[in-house]
Amino acid sequence: MKKGSEYGVSEWIGDKLARLAGLDSEEAKAAQLKQRINRLIADLNMPDADDRRTAAERLGKIGTEAKEAISALINALEDQSSGVRNSAAEALGSFGLEGRDAVPALIATLKDEDIFTRSSAALSLGHIGLVSREATDALIIALNDPDEFIRRAVIEAIVEINPVDERAAPALIEKLEDEDESVREYAAKALANFKSAVDVTVPALADALVDPVSIVTIQVIFTLSDLGPSAVKALPALIEVLNNHRNVEIRVAAINALAAIGSETEEVVLSLKEAQNSKNGRIRQSAEEALSTLKRNSSKSQSSQSHPS
């Protein structure tokens, strides 16, 4: 039953008419939504590509309430129109875990000839979540896609599906040398998740500190900070950055990373004390705060060792 609002009649009148017909407001809305979903599923077979694309987009906006559309959207991944395929791939990600049946088709779509469709397929696999873990091997292969837009989307998907799947670590390390700076940045950020693989990730991140693009270097440093004490092998490279880099933001980030790693070695303390004499106020202040942090943490550690629980 269609309510009056679709005919320019006030909503309360439509609700009253629905109640008179034996339906309450929520039941009427559910019935209308069901009709709309069925109509959109039918529209996926319309002769005009724009109509099919619009139907896929609207089903995606409805999301999990339109889960009966999943099969039709999977079929739409093979539409002759790239716009329809892209919209269908994107829509399937809106179903979350309910979209598990679409995973094999989305994996195949990672090889679609259209850039945007490949990207949407990757992102949707990520949105579907852990039940897409069978896609990890295909996504690792897709990290070598010729388009940087896709490579970024794939990195996002890998992390969203399972951020601690160590199978992806070697491939992400390779992306630290990608020709595209944004891909290198995404890879560096993603590696913060692999805390059990620091034996391979930390040395690679330390090497990446020489990246010529500042935003990449800063992200590498942020990742080392996130890894904390387990990133101790990166200390020499961070000290080198602190002592010799020309970028103030990068030197400040390096100071904060040294504090986050928390190793009060002679080399670390000496470098921070030298930074206290910097002409730049931010560097001086950051170095002072880092030394205080190291001293405070060292005192706590000694206290806990002296008074074991």
Number of structural domains the chain divides into: 2
pLDDT in tens, 191-248: 999 988 999 999 999 999 999 999 999 999 999 999 999 999 999 999 999 999 999 9
Residue 266: give its domain's CATH number.
1.25.10.10
Between the CA of residue 21 and those of 7, 35, 36, 180, 241, what are the distances in Å?
Answer: 17, 17, 20, 62, 75
Q: Do both 212 and 135 map to the same domain? A: no
Q: Do both 158 and 203 map to the same domain? A: no
Structure tokens at 157: 């998907």
Q: Do both 46 and 155 map to the same domain? A: yes
Q: Rounded to an integer, what distance in angstroms lies between the CA atom of residue 108 and that of residue 149? A: 18
The 8-class DSSP code of residue 1 comes to -
Residue that terminates a domain, selected from 133, 162, 191: 162
Structure tokens at 300: 């706590």
pLDDT in tens, 235-286: 999 999 999 999 999 999 999 999 999 998 999 999 999 999 999 999 999 9
171 domain residue, yes or no:
no
Q: Do both 215 and 142 map to the same domain? A: no
Q: Are 64 and 100 in contact (CB under 8 A)?
A: no
Q: Are 50 and 84 in contact (CB under 8 A)?
A: no
Enclosing domain of residue 269: 199-304
Q: Do both 203 and 296 map to the same domain? A: yes
Q: How far apart are the first and last CA of the chain?
A: 70
pLDDT in tens, 51-90: 999 999 999 999 999 999 999 999 999 999 999 999 999 9
23 domain residue, yes or no:
no
Q: Rounded to an integer, what distance in angstroms lies between the CA atom of residue 226 and that of residue 193? A: 9
Structure tokens at 9: 């009649």
Between the CA of residue 75 and those of 45, 78, 89, what are the distances in Å?
Answer: 10, 6, 10
Position 4 pLDDT exceeds 50: no
Q: Rounded to an integer, what distance in angstroms lies between the CA atom of residue 280 and that of residue 14? A: 69
12 domain residue, yes or no:
no
Residue that terminates a domain, selected from 114, 138, 162: 162
What does pTM read for this prediction?
A: 0.85
Between the CA of residue 118 and those of 5, 9, 152, 155, 194, what are the distances in Å?
Answer: 39, 44, 12, 13, 26
Q: Rounded to an integer, what distance in angstroms lies between the CA atom of residue 271 and that of residue 255? A: 9
Burial class (CB in 10 A: 0-12, 13-18, 19+), 288: middle
Q: Do both 135 and 246 map to the same domain? A: no
Q: Are 187 and 172 in contact (CB under 8 A)?
A: yes
62 domain residue, yes or no:
yes
138 domain residue, yes or no:
yes
Q: Rounded to an integer, what distance in angstroms lies between the CA atom of residue 208 and that of residue 60? A: 39
Q: Measured over all CA atoms, what is the biggest interatomic distance in the chain, rounded to whole angstroms?
A: 83
117 domain residue, yes or no:
yes
Q: Give the model's pLDDT for residue 165.
A: 83
Q: Are 195 and 227 in contact (CB under 8 A)?
A: yes
